[in-house]
Amino acid sequence: MVAAARANGLDLIAVTDHNAAGMVEEVARAARATGLHVLPGIEVETQEEVHLLVYFDDLSSCRDFAAEVYSFLPDRANDPELFGDQVVVDADETIVHTEARLLLNALGLSLEEVVARGAGRGGLVVPAHVDRTPYGLVTQLGFGPEGLRFPLVEVDGSFRPEECGPGAVLWSSDAHVPEDIGSRVSVFRMKGPTVDEIRRAALGEGGRSIEIRRGAKRVGTAG
C-alpha cells in the first residue's frame, strides 16, 4: 500500500477499514521513513446502511472511536468461506490479529449518532461515495438529514460536482487493492495534513482549497 502510494506521487493517504481501524497503525509504521503521511480513519456503516468516513489526527483517537463503534456491531461470526479472512498484517505480511466478528454489517447506531460520536472525539466526518448505490448518503436515503451539514463529501464514479449538493468534493480512489491506489486524486492546498486543515480547505479558508484531478495517477497530494 505504501509503495503503491509513493509510486503514484501521493503525499497523503487515509486508511479507513470497514467498521475497524486495525490496519492503520501498521500502515503508518511502514510509511514513516517514506515521506508518506497516513491519516488514521475508519469507514462506518450506520444503522441506515450509509457509509461515513471519519478521519482523525492521531491513532489514539481513531482506536478509541473504533472500539466505541465496535460495541454496536452485531455479534455475528465471520464466515471466511463466504467473506474471506479478516486479518491484520504487519509490514512483513505476518498475521498479527484475526477478527472473528463479521465487520461487514451495519452498526446499531443511526447516522446522526455516528456523526455526533465521531465529531465528539475530534474526527472529521465525511459521507462516503455519495453517488454510489447502495451505501451512499443520497442514494440510500434520498436526502440529507435535517440539521446535518458536511463541509466535504466523497464521490466515486461518474458525477458532476453540482449534483453533490453544498460543500467541497473529495475525489478519492476508495482502493480495496494496491493497484487502485491513486486512481482518483484530489489535491489539497493547505498548511499541513490535519483534519482541521482539510476542513478549512473544504471551506476555502485562507487560500486553502481542494482540486479534483481526474484520471491523473501520478499527481496530487491525497488519494
Task: Confirm if 67 and 127 have CB atoms less than 8 A apart.
Answer: no
Predicted pLDDT at 105: 95
Predicted pLDDT at 21: 95
Predicted pLDDT at 132: 79
User: For the whole model, what pTM was predicted?
Assistant: 0.90
* CATH code of the region 2-75+103-213: 3.20.20.140
Torsion angle (degrees, nearest 10) of CA 61, 203, 193, 177: 80
Predicted pLDDT at 160: 58
The pLDDT profile of the chain, 223 residues, written as one tens digit per residue, is 999 999 999 999 999 999 999 999 999 999 999 999 999 999 999 999 999 999 999 999 999 999 999 999 999 999 999 999 999 998 888 999 999 999 999 999 999 999 999 999 999 999 999 877 789 887 777 766 777 888 899 987 655 555 554 458 898 888 989 899 998 899 999 999 999 999 999 999 999 999 887 654 433 333 3
Domain ranges of the chain: 2-75+103-213
Predicted pLDDT at 157: 62
Q: What is the DSSP letter of 49?
A: S
What is the Cβ-side half-sphere exposure of residue 195, based on CA atoms within 13 angstroms?
A: 21
Predicted pLDDT at 221: 37
The sign of the dihedral angle between the CA atoms of 155, 158, 161, 162 is: negative
Task: Confirm if 9 and 36 have CB atoms less than 8 A apart.
Answer: no
